């Protein structure tokens, strides 16, 4: 099928170098969220296909791990070049699958940068020598786990795949990638490009699937480590599956990031950052997005007014239309859930609905569009302020001073990210250190370059992606003790 000038990838599983087009698990009709129309019938993996994919990864392990580091590095760099060459195609796929504005396709550059950054570590993963005595040589060597299960969310596209899959490959592991069935085409194309770049068959296997596939993968005895990004509730199922084999797990989960704006903060920057991250672009469908805005009382009234005006002025529409700043949510089910959350918040009186709160009709009626929604004067303990909505819904909470801001920000089960807007550098650092989160942006939303670690605390998960620590997540140190004896 050709659409917007590109040929859509086949919606079939990629195991080794073969395609699987029919399974007992059937197919899933992947829908364009901006139109409600079916994009592709995607083959779903079942337990049999998961077993085949794990077997293919195991068969490729020895050769992939045994490659000279320089050769493995060059193959991964070739993958980066392939993604770069297909940037326009992947950008279109992203907009088709997620409904995200096409102009944001430049974010795909992040995937290329992540791959090139990680490739640079292949030949620098060194062990160490440990002084024991003059008659002992003790040293460590970093070893891959073997086969890694990578479960990626629908909202991440090839960026999420690059962050999760490539450091595992750099460390010498093979990967079974299970993307969400809601957005499979870009991950499948990633797998095709990996093969075309020379990555050996079986090193990366792509098996879209639903709940059954995920359960089979995380409980598989042949999986040596799991990396999961998704919701907290699903993470509990992942952990239960992993427990059977004591498989180690990396979890990158949900969030309800607090964006703290003090009286002396740059309000122009705070408004722009808040509206375009929490409500625009991905329409609030991001785990680290600042959907809880804490405003100091001295500027609350002004900032509330400006936030509502900016949110109401957002251009919401289909991804390929000119000037669009925000797209749809991913599915009818997601739309229904978000509107239910909004209605419940209004009924309880969690705060005052200032704008939005409804499905957009007219020319956009066939898509899954929710109007950018803002609640003001929100009680921080209320569900609308505590629960991850995963949609374009922003809660405004007032605070009096620095201590209260920290208390309110930390009053959350989640701990993924946070923002602080202030011109007081001392306060900026005090608050950043006091926030119980994995990352903090001061006077700006942190762009997550590939060299920095990303991950959360509390119910936002554990483990890190990005940076050298993101590569080391897929390595385990082996210690070797050698008694060299004494001269006789």
Q: What is the mean pLDDT of residues 457-485?
A: 97
The string of pLDDT tens digits covering residues 26-43 is: 999 999 999 999 999 999
Helix-helix angle 157-170:69-85, to 10 degrees: 170
Helix-helix angle 87-98:69-85, to 10 degrees: 70
Q: Which CATH number fits domain 258-450: 3.40.50.2000, 3.90.550.10, 3.40.309.10, 3.40.50.1820?
A: 3.40.309.10
Q: What is the pLDDT at residue 488?
A: 61
Q: What are the extents of the domains in the chain?
A: 2-253+461-477, 258-450
Candidates 215, 300, 209; CA nearest to 262 is 300
Q: What is the pLDDT at residue 109?
A: 86
The string of pLDDT tens digits covering residues 262-288 is: 999 999 999 999 999 999 989 999 999
User: What distance in Å separates the CA atoms of residue 475 and residue 487, rounded to the nearest whole number?
Assistant: 37
Q: Could you give phi then psi for residue 54, rounded to 5 degrees?
A: -65, -40
Q: What is the pLDDT at residue 106?
A: 58
Angle at 353 between CA 349 and CA 355, to 5 degrees: 170
Place of tokens 């808040």: 274
Q: What is the pLDDT at residue 487?
A: 67
Candidates 154, 161, 178; CA nearest to 49 is 178
Q: What is the mean pLDDT of residues 407-414?
A: 98
Our answer to whether residue 465 is catalytic in this structure is yes
The string of pLDDT tens digits covering residues 134-155 is: 999 999 999 999 999 999 999 9
Alpha-carbon distances, residue 144 vs 66, 115, 167, 371 (angstroms): 11, 18, 11, 46
Candidates 419, 46, 19, 382; CA nearest to 216 is 46
Q: Which two tokens stand for residue 416?
A: 């993924």
**Which band of pLDDT confidence, cut at 50, 70 and 90, is reported for residue 10?**
confident
Q: Which CATH number fits domain 2-253+461-477: 3.40.605.10, 3.30.70.250, 3.20.20.60, 3.90.870.10?
A: 3.40.605.10
User: What distance in Å separates the CA atoms of residue 398 and residue 293, rounded to the nearest whole number?
Assistant: 8
Our answer to whether residue 478 is catalytic in this structure is no
Indicate the pTM of the whole model: 0.96
Region for residue 63 given its phi and psi (left: phi exceeds 0; alpha: psi -120 to 50; beta: otherwise): alpha
Catalytic residue among 89, 388, 465, 473: 465
Is residue 454 within 8 A of residue 286, CB to CB? The reply is: no
Q: What is the mean pLDDT of the chain?
A: 96
Catalytic residue among 178, 181, 256, 287: 287
Our answer to whether residue 304 is catalytic in this structure is no
- DSSP secondary structure letter of residue 164: H
Q: Which two tokens stand for residue 57?
A: 């990864």
| pLDDT for residue 4 is more than 90 | no
User: What distance in Å separates the CA atoms of residue 27 and residue 362, rounded to the nearest whole number?
Assistant: 31
Our answer to whether residue 287 is catalytic in this structure is yes
The string of pLDDT tens digits covering residues 66-112 is: 999 999 999 999 999 999 999 999 999 999 999 999 876 556 789 99
| pLDDT for residue 486 is more than 80 | no
Q: What is the pLDDT at residue 107?
A: 63
CA atoms lying within 13 Å on the CB side of residue 330: 22
Q: What is the mean pLDDT of residues 278-303?
A: 96
Beta bridge partners of 370: 359
Q: What is the pLDDT at residue 268?
A: 98
Catalytic residue among 252, 304, 388, 473: 252
Is residue 274 within 8 A of residue 266, CB to CB? The reply is: no
User: What distance in Å separates the CA atoms of residue 462 and residue 459, rounded to the nearest whole number?
Assistant: 9
Place of tokens 């303990």: 381
Catalytic residue among 164, 225, 256, 458: 164
Q: What is the pLDDT at residue 1?
A: 78
Q: What is the pLDDT at residue 98?
A: 94
What single string gives the DSSP state of each residue in 225-260? EEEEES-HHHHHHHHHHHHTTT--EEEE-----EEE
User: What distance in Å separates the CA atoms of residue 211 and residue 407, rounded to the nearest whole number?
Assistant: 37
- Kindly state the percentage of the chain with pLDDT values over 70: 99
**Which band of pLDDT confidence, cut at 50, 70 and 90, is reported for residue 257?**
very high
Angle at 103 between CA 356 and CA 114, to 5 degrees: 110
| pLDDT for residue 394 is more than 90 | yes
């Amino acid at each position: 099928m050709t659409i917007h000038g590109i040929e859509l990838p086949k919606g079939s599983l990629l195991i080794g170098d073969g395609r699987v087009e029919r399974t007992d698990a059937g197919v899933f009709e992947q829908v364009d969220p901006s139109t409600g129309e079916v994009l592709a019938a995607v083959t779903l993996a079942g337990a049999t296909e998961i077993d085949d994919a794990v077997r293919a990864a195991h068969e490729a392990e020895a050769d992939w791990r045994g490659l000279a580091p320089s050769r493995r590095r060059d193959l991964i760099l070739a993958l980066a070049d392939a993604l770069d060459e297909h940037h326009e195609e992947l950008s279109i796929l992203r907009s088709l699958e997620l409904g995200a504005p096409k102009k944001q396709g430049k974010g795909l550059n992040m995937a290329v940068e992540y791959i090139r950054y990680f490739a640079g570590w292949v030949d620098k993963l060194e062990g160490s020598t440990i002084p024991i005595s003059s008659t002992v040589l003790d040293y460590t060597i970093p070893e891959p786990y073997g086969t890694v299960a990578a479960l990626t969310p629908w909202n991440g596209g090839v960026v999420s795949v690059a962050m999760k899959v490539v450091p595992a490959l750099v460390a010498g592991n093979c990967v079974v990638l299970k993307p969400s069935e809601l957005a499979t085409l870009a991950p499948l194309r990633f797998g095709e490009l990996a093969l075309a770049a020379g990555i050996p068959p079986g090193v990366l296997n792509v098996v879209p699937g639903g709940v059954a596939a995920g359960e089979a993968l995380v409980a598989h005895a042949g999986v040596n480590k799991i990396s999961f990004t998704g919701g907290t509730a699903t993470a509990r199922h992942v952990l239960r599956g992993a427990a059977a084999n004591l498989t180690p797990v990396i979890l990158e989960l949900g969030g309800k990031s607090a964006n703290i704006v003090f009286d002396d903060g740059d309000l122009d920057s705070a408004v722009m950052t808040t509206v375009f991250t929490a409500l625009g672009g991905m329409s609030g469908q991001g785990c680290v997005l600042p959907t809880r805005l804490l405003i100091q009382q001295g500027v609350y009234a002004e900032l509330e007014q400006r936030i509502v005006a900016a949110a109401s002025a957002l251009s919401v529409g289909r991804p390929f239309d000119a000037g669009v700043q925000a797209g749809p949510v991913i599915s009818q089910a997601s739309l229904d859930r978000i509107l239910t959350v909004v209605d419940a918040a209004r009924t309880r009186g969690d705060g005052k609905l200032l704008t939005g709160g409804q499905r957009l009709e007219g020319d956009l009626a066939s898509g899954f569009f929710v109007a950018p929604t803002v609640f003001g004067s929100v009680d921080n303990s209320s569900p609308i302020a505590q629960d991850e909505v995963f949609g374009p819904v922003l809660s405004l909470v007032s605070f009096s001073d620095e201590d209260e801001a920290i208390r309110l920000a930390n009053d959350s089960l989640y701990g993924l990210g946070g923002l602080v807007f202030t011109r007081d550098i001392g306060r900026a650092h005090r608050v950043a250190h006091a926030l119980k989160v994995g990352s903090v942006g001061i006077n700006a939303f942190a762009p997550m370059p590939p060299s920095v670690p990303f991950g959360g605390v509390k119910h936002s998960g554990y483990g890190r992606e990005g940076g050298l620590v993101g590569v080391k997540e897929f390595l385990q140190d082996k210690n070797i003790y050698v008694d060299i004896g004494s001269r006789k």
